[in-house]
Chain A
Amino acid sequence: MAVHKILGIETEFGILHLNPAESNPVSASSLLINAYVNERRSNRIGWDFEDEQPGVDARGFDVYGGMAPAVESHLVNAVLTNGARYYVDHAHPEMSSPECFDAREAVVYDKAAEVILTTSMQEATRYLPPGEELVVHKNNSDGKGNSYGCHENYLVDRKVPFARLVTQIMPFFVSRQIFTGSGKVGTEAPDMDPSDVPFQVTQRADFFEEEVGLETTLKRPIVNTRDEPHANSALYRRLHVIVGDATQAEVATYLKLGTTALVLAMIDDDFLSDMPIFEHAVRAMRDVSYDLTMTRTHPMADGGSMSALDVQWAYFEAAAKYGEQAGFEAVGGDEVGRDVMRRWEEVLDALGRDPMELADRLEWVAKLRLLEGFRSRHGCDWDDPRMRALDLQYHDLRPGRNIHRRLGMERITTDAEVATAVTAPPPDTRAYFRGRCVEKYADRIVAANWDSMVFDVGEESLRRVPMLEPLRGTRAHVGTLLDECETAEDLLRALGE
């Protein structure tokens, strides 16, 4: 029986400080996040990097109160009442969503992250001199060879031999690009000229140089081997997926998460056998992204050749059998499992007929349609700077500038549930415990991280509450307890009993 596919998304956003007297992306990112957490007292809790000993210095993170954000430039690391982590990472603002129960819930929290970043921009700009502005983009590249990630995380069974996991997931990662991409004008591959590739399916494909490895910032691998489970390491592994694009298109994000969770459930259960394997996965990563017709074939390890679409159909057919035999419990139940299968089939069918049919669902198709329209209206070529500007502005999160939201693409979330997710944690994972504690006992929490919370209730030593099981700490488990405990002291006493 596959491990429940608890999942989440971490997104690094592009950031610009417009018209500054003096600025750098690290201080701009810090200002952005401080502006948000300063407005919300309950959010002023630091992230705890120490796995075993929090130490008193963890309190050092909690210094936001009383300091003007204009002079705040140290690396910010906050935990939000919705269970997410909001911080500065490598000169980018980054949001790690709370642990989610299924793909649909994860999309809701991904959209909530956009709302939080948009609010942060507006609040931060109020602290800046007139004429200056912070601008955030939800994209993955500056078009000049610098890339930043949108990573997915999935809980997988520690018992699965990692070599099998790598072999069985890699062809899926290479081929799923045909629906996960957010599209990009040109190429940033070092050995190519931008004019070789007017437009490609993904933002990220240009940046992968290895099949498997630990790196994420250089020599990026298709399968990342980082092994920090943030959970019981005897039972679980966290697969850290770095090949995806950050998408605003809800159906694209949903399919990316839902299909990957399904494939990982099949791998947990050793359900896949004799799946297609790309002869040159790194080469295929780029070739798949450069093919807008969905017909290009790639050499396979068995000497044959297949298109990315063929490979996706192979995974789809396996998942259909898996669903019949094992059900969809591991990915959140029948409703979400069947919905993912239905949409997966629709999208693969349409990609095989005419990708343009998917302009209301897939981000790369929507962007391509827009760029083609712009090109024909203005009679310009792909290397016209307006094409690149439109590509960038597609991802600009400022409401007046954002292009994506003007397209009216199909949604799977509602504004109301996204608004709720800005402040409330998912009810069905341990993120519920984290978020509710932050909301209710902020002044007693010294630090938080994925698998524990550290409290200071005035005793000689700090008190750590471990959260090693991602499916414990849900509303069903601790909702009543949290409702009843007025203070952190009450809570710790009750948990100790």
Chain B
Amino acid sequence: MAEREQIRKPRRESTEEEVEETASASESGTELKAELDDLLDEIDEVLETNAEEFVRNYVQKGGE
């Protein structure tokens, strides 16, 4: 199977680029975290109040 391993894309980034990428990734990571917190606040407000009952009553017929 060794020859199939070569199918994987070669990695192209240089070390220098990696450093920059890490810096921006960390920044956008913080942003993402803040967004996720806001989103979870929203979800706490709109999530079905009786989750257990909602899940229990969610029954569909098979289809297709």
Contacts and interface: CB of A to CB of B under 8 A. Distances in A.
Contacts of B37: 373
A146 B8 contact: no
Given A373-B36, A403-B43, A143 B55 contact: yes
A370 B39 contact: yes
B59 A390 contact: no
Contacts of A384: 51
A377 interface: yes
B13 to A, nearest CB: 10
A352 interface: yes
Interface of B: 1, 4-5, 7-9, 32, 35-37, 39-40, 42-43, 46-48, 51-52, 54-55, 57-64
A369 interface: yes
A406 B42 contact: yes
A130 to B, nearest CB: 19
A151 B63 CA distance: 11
19 contacts: A25-B61, A89-B64, A91-B60, A94-B63, A141-B60, A144-B59, A317-B7, A349-B9, A352-B9, A359-B32, A385-B55, A386-B47, A389-B48, A390-B51, A393-B46, A393-B47, A393-B48, A406-B39, A408-B35
B1 A89 contact: no
B64 A390 contact: no
Contact of A151 (B43, B51, B64): B64
Interface stretch (A284-292, A304-312, A430-438, A489-497): A304-312
Given A306-B1, A370-B40, 6 more contacts: A16-B58, A94-B63, A310-B8, A385-B55, A388-B51, A388-B55
A441 interface: no
Contacts, number: 122
Contacts of B54: 385, 389, 392
Contacts of B52: 385, 389
Contacts of A406: 39, 42-43
B63 A348 contact: no
A314 B7 contact: yes
Nearest to B33: A373
A92 B59 CA distance: 12
A92 B51 CA distance: 23
Contacts of A407: 39
Contacts of A143: 55, 58
A384 B61 CA distance: 24
A216 interface: yes
Nearest to A348: B9
B36 A147 contact: no
Contacts of A16: 57-58
